[in-house]
Chain A
């Protein structure tokens, strides 16, 4: 079952001096807010989009755009479970999405 990512955890840093930063991003809070903003922007732009769609449909750009948006959301919903933990002895990169 696919679900949107809820939490993003990032850690970057150097091992020797302990410098770096760690952050966790609460996507479950940011996601709905971003969605509402995107929806509002979409509604504002809709009349202009429909007008330009009528005149430029034959160019085939809109099909790509629609497919692109669908593919973006599909990729976004496939992200939970991704884990990247790389340590080269000096630097650390740690990314998890759950």
Chain B
């Protein structure tokens, strides 16, 4: 834990700041360290996106057409590290469960063996996700999936 994070948590514990302010400060520190990493990471091929975002928002005036309500929205931010860590858990799936997963994939038309997934495959998949951007617009809402 960095000094700044310690200071923020100390201020929270002392009641000098509230949880929302703590969240904002933590995010700012993360952004700072991210930009530092980006600056230092030019040799590594520039700053890589750290989060995958899924945003679903209603279009203005969509409520009138019987579409999504103005209040309905989805805003999800998933760290790529979490996706990587989660995919590593695949190797821990018991063989019976892995068979079920493979069967479900086959039913959907994918010839995929979850137990044969290797570290390199995972990296390729995450890299592909980092480079992908999905932008769907319907009459009532906008769906965006992108890396940031």
Q: Which residues of A contact B (CB under 8 A)?
A: 1-3, 6-7, 9, 15, 24, 26, 28-29, 64, 67-68, 71, 74-75, 77-89, 96, 98
B interface residues, tally (CB under 8 Å): 34
- Min CB gap B44→A, angstroms: 14
B43 part of interface (Cβ distance < 8 Å): no
Contact B50 A67 (CB under 8 A): no
B145 part of interface (Cβ distance < 8 Å): no
B51 part of interface (Cβ distance < 8 Å): yes
Known A79-B79, A82-B82: A24·B91 in contact at CB below 8 Å:
no
Sorted nearest first, the 5 A-B pairs with minimum C-beta distance are: A78-B81, A89-B69, A83-B77, A85-B75, A78-B82
Stretch at the interface among B23-31, B100-108, B136-144: B23-31
Chain A neighbourhood of B50, CB < 8 A: 81
Closest to A64 in B: B92
Contact A3 B92 (CB under 8 A): no
Q: A66 to B17: give the CA distance in the assembly, Å.
A: 40
Chain A neighbourhood of B5, CB < 8 A: 3, 6
Contact A84 B76 (CB under 8 A): yes
Q: A83 to B86: give the CA distance in the assembly, Å.
A: 16
- Min CB gap B139→A, angstroms: 17
Contact B22 A7 (CB under 8 A): yes
Chain A neighbourhood of B19, CB < 8 A: 7, 9, 24
Contact B79 A71 (CB under 8 A): no
Contact A9 B23 (CB under 8 A): yes
B89 part of interface (Cβ distance < 8 Å): yes
Known: A2-B81, A83-B77. 5 other contacts (CB 8 A): A15-B71, A26-B12, A28-B9, A75-B86, A83-B75
Closest to B6 in A: A28
Chain B neighbourhood of A64, CB < 8 A: 92
- Min CB gap A5→B, angstroms: 10
Closest to A75 in B: B85
Contact B75 A79 (CB under 8 A): no
- Min CB gap B137→A, angstroms: 20
B11 part of interface (Cβ distance < 8 Å): no
Chain B neighbourhood of A3, CB < 8 A: 1, 5
Q: A1 to B30: give the CA distance in the assembly, Å.
A: 10
B33 part of interface (Cβ distance < 8 Å): yes
**Which residues of B (81-100) have their CB < 8 Å from a CB of A?**
81-82, 84-86, 88-89, 91-92
